């Protein structure tokens, strides 16, 4: 696989650069960052002490001319710009960016008609397996239990609830035969009144260097069932992103998620 990495100077981007460089079945062919970034012009492996021969650049077209897959964990605006360049060059995309609005998601869906795209709020394989456990639990605790989703991330995360928390909410709502848009409660303040039994509550914690924690509570009379997933570092996301890139290699078009990769 010839891999290019977007956001190559960020926390995830640096780890992805290192993983692609070290992977036996991959070649790092490009490292992208936005115009004005202080890392432009540097070797992409400088931060982990290796000369990769790949220079960090903001020239999307030059990089994507030689890439098979672009891995992107940036911000929605940046992702959509990279998506346009990927379409021009027929480069597959693994997108781990979160915080897209409905219109932006429509643009990704439209692009996937001619391009293979893997879009997931979390590329952690274990987190996506946990989603299956949560959906199973939701079916078993569909009556008499209130559902709460609690997520925690580092102080620099800009969107809330996290994309993974929303994916968890979608999985629960689907298992219960509900529409998340109709039953989600994202904020409680003041006199809120008694809880509506059909709602799914969300709470977001931001602080320090928390990588990612997600907990689902099924709260009944006299008992609670808790399913939790805690990420201790970003390596599970990196491993999952490379797994997704491998998955896309024989795909010409289509929109996929990590559940497809796991299957």
- The strand ranges marked E within the chain are 2-5, 27-32, 56-57, 69-72, 92-95, 116-119, 146-153, 184-185, 200-206, 212-220, 223-231, 254-256
Q: For the chain, give percent helix, strand, coil, nearest 5.
A: 35, 25, 40
Q: Could you say which of 2, 34, 50, 157 is catalytic?
A: 157
CA gap 3, 258 in Å, rounded: 19
Look up 189 and say whether it is catalytic.
Answer: no
Q: Which residues pair with 228 in a beta bridge?
A: 215
Tokens of 245: 């890139």
Look up 92 and say whether it is catalytic.
Answer: no
The residues annotated with a catalytic role in the active site are 153, 157
């Amino acid at each position: 696989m010839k891999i290019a990495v977007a956001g190559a100077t960020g926390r995830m981007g640096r780890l992805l650069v290192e993983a692609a460089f070290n992977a036996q079945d991959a070649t790092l062919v490009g490292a992208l960052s936005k115009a004005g970034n202080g890392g432009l012009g540097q070797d992409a492996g400088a931060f982990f002490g290796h000369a990769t021969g790949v220079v960090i650049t903001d020239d999307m077209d030059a990089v994507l001319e030689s890439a098979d897959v672009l891995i992107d964990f940036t911000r929605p605006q940046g992702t959509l710009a990279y998506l346009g360049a990927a379409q021009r060059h027929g480069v597959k995309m693994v997108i781990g960016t979160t915080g897209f609005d409905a219109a932006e998601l429509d643009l990704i869906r439209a692009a996937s008609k001619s391009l293979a795209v893997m879009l997931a709020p979390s590329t952690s394989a274990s987190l996506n397996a946990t989603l299956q456990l949560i959906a199973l639990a939701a079916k078993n605790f569909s009556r008499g239990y209130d559902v709460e989703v609690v997520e925690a991330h580092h102080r620099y995360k800009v969107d809330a609830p996290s994309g993974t928390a929303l994916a968890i909410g979608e999985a629960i709502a689907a298992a219960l035969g509900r529409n998340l848009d109709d039953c989600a409660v994202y904020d409680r303040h003041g006199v809120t009144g008694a809880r509506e039994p059909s709602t799914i509550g969300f709470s977001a914690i931001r602080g320090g260097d928390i990588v990612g924690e997600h907990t689902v509570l099924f709260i009944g009379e006299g008992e609670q069932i808790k399913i939790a997933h805690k990420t201790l570092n970003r390596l599970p996301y990196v491993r999952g992103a490379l797994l997704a890139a491998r998955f896309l290699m024989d795909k010409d078009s289509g929109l996929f998620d990590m559940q497809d990769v796991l299957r």
